[in-house]
Amino acid sequence: MGKSKVWFIPVEKGDSPGDIDSKVIRLFETAVKDYSLIAKDDFVAMKIHFGERDNIGYVKPDYLKTLVSRIKDSGGKPFFTDTNTLYKGQRSNSVDHLIQAYQHGFTLDKIDAPVIIADGLMSKNFSRVEIAGKHFEAVNIANDILHSDVLIGISHLTGHVGACMGASIKNIGMGCASRSGKQVQHADVNPSVSADDCTACGQCVKWCPVEAIKIIDGNAVIDYEKCYGCAECITTCSFDAIAVSWAGTSKALQEKMAEYALGVIKDKRDKSLFFNFLIHISKGCDCLGDAQDAVIEDIGILLSVDPLAVDQASVDLLNERAEKDFLKELWSESGLDYRQQLNHAAAIGLGSREYKLIEL
């Protein structure tokens, strides 16, 4: 795989939301002028993180207004989208998730595009996509992203407590997965039932795809000869009787994110773009429900058709600005290394770590 083009435009201190909006559209128009991205009536999934309650680092809707207009001018039908979270916060079901998006300004009157939670009310709206991975032979991807014609990733580069870095690979790998897909990325699943917490409601029985669970003597019982660790029971249980596991290693998590990202773009190689916003870079990701401080000054915005190249270029620019391996040092107490996701992404053919940086 040869060098991928990555376009970059700096962001200056004091830039207004309108200034950033203008830079976003300049990047977009430069990148797509020789690229047939959007056809008439294409559904355009704009994959974004709406930010947990009280988070302030998420990519703001005011940065994206003109982009929405340009997509419509091209004949596309844009919508902003994300999937429900594994953890129990403000975004673990579609009702609360939509309210959170609206509270952060992603309303139709403000941004002129609807919000659709791509995996459905309780994250059951997904399909299995076959891949040739180290960890997975198939991945659970949200249907409304799979069924879209075009994917535009809008990612906010941050540090991450499990993966050291979150950018485009995390946004599309973890961010386009069903809740069960998120669980198997975080840990190899061997579910167990807490008899004290089980109410015998039967929801885990209903949603088990291989009929491995039965209600016996008032408790859910798992047949481990049938169970293949899909995590549907974990993400279905409303009573924490089948607990979420966060026990996986950082290396495995990062490799699994890359494999899920591969499943997302499998049939969209020629119909995808990936923005990385290096603005208000925080130590933790936007899933954290607090007002995190920026840990370095703003750098700019990058865009590529290659999710690996745009992440590699982003971290290179960050390290150049900081004059050190910034995110690795930021998470040095945990021994995290973001290069594990980049290395594996290259190994499985997600994209290229070699790139040509084009500054506007």
CATH of residue 30: 3.40.50.11440
pLDDT tens string for the chain (360 positions)?
Answer: 689 999 999 999 999 999 999 999 999 999 998 778 999 999 999 999 999 898 899 999 999 999 999 999 999 999 999 999 887 778 889 999 999 999 999 999 999 999 999 999 989 999 999 999 999 999 999 999 999 999 999 999 999 988 999 999 999 999 999 999 998 998 876 788 999 999 999 999 998 988 999 999 999 999 988 887 777 898 789 898 998 676 778 899 999 999 999 999 999 999 999 999 999 999 988 888 788 899 999 999 999 999 999 999 999 999 999 999 999 999 998 889 999 999 999 999 999 999 999 999
pTM above 0.85, yes or no: yes
Which helix H or strand E contains 203, and what residues bound it? helix 203-207
Residues 278 and 224 placed together within one structural domain of the fold: no
Residues 230 and 292 placed together within one structural domain of the fold: no
State how far the alpha carbon of 19 is from the alpha carbons of 11, 15, 84, in Å: 9, 6, 31
**Which residues, listed in sequence order, are joined to residue 278 by a DSSP beta bridge?**
300
Determine the straight-line distance between the first and last CA of the chain, rounded to whole angstroms.
25
Cα–Cα distance between 53 and 160 in angstroms, integer? 18
Domain count across the chain = 2
Residues 118 and 216 placed together within one structural domain of the fold: no
Residues 200 and 95 placed together within one structural domain of the fold: no
Helix (H, G, I), strand (E, B) or coil at 138: strand
Residues 136 and 222 placed together within one structural domain of the fold: no
Closest CA to 144 of 45, 41, 219, 49: 45
Residues 45 and 147 placed together within one structural domain of the fold: yes
Cα–Cα distance between 193 and 240 in angstroms, integer? 9
Residues 171 and 200 placed together within one structural domain of the fold: no
CATH code at position 195: 3.30.70.20
Specify if 241 maps to a domain.
no
Residues 141 and 217 placed together within one structural domain of the fold: no
264 and 133 Cβ atoms separated by less than 8 Å: no
Residues 260 and 229 placed together within one structural domain of the fold: no
C-alpha of 254 from chain center: 12
Residues 255 and 334 placed together within one structural domain of the fold: yes
Residues 257 and 230 placed together within one structural domain of the fold: no
Structural domain of 332: 4-185+249-359
Residues 210 and 255 placed together within one structural domain of the fold: no
At 12, the amino acid letter reads E
